[in-house]
Amino acid sequence: ILNVEQSPQSLHVQEGDSTNFTCSFPSSNFYALHWYRWETAKSPEALFVMTLNGDEKKKGRISATLNTKEGYSYLYIKGSQPEDSATYLCAFRSGGSYIPTFGRGTSLIVHP
C-alpha cells in the first residue's frame, strides 16, 4: 500500500485568513492526484484532478499546485469563509493501478 500523507491533520483559522495544506505522495510512477472536499454528514466531492508536473488549478478562492518530481501538492484557500469548513482529501493514483490511495485528510475549521 502506497504512503500518502496529508498535513496538518487539522487546522483552525479565522474568517478571512488564507491557509494552505499539503499532500505528499510517492515521487515515482505518478499518474494523477485528486483533491476532494468532504463536509460533515455529506459525501466527498471532487475539487481538482492534477496530472502534470507544475499543474496549477483554481476554483474560486481555492487553488492547488502539483510537484510530481518531489511528490507533493498544495491546496490553498484564500480568504477562508465558515462554509469552507470541511475535511480536504487527496487521492494518489500510480501508473497501471486502478486503486487510488487516499490520505487521511486535513480537517479545516473556519471560525466566524
Partner 1 sequence: EAQVTQNPRYLITVTGKKLTVTCSQNMNHEYMSWYRQDPGLGLRQIYYSMNVEVTDKGDVPEGYKVSRKEKRNFPLILESPSPNQTSLYFCASSPRTGVEETQYFGPGTRLLVL
Residues near partner 1, by CB under 8 A: 1, 4, 31-32, 34, 42-46, 49, 51, 89, 91, 93, 98-105
Strand order in the sheet with 5-7: 5-7, 19-24, 72-77, 62-67, 56-59
* Nearest distance from C-beta of residue 5 to partner 1, angstroms: 10
Cα–Cα distance for residue pair 74/80, rounded to 1 Å: 16
Report the residue number, 2 or 15, with the smaller CB distance to partner 1: 2
Which cell goes with 15? 474568517
Minimum Å distance from CB 89 to partner 1?
Answer: 7
Provide the greatest CA pair distance for the chain: 45
Write down the least CB distance from residue 106 to partner 1, Å.
11
By C-beta, is 2 or 14 nearer to partner 1?
Answer: 2
- Return the bridge partners of 95, or none: none
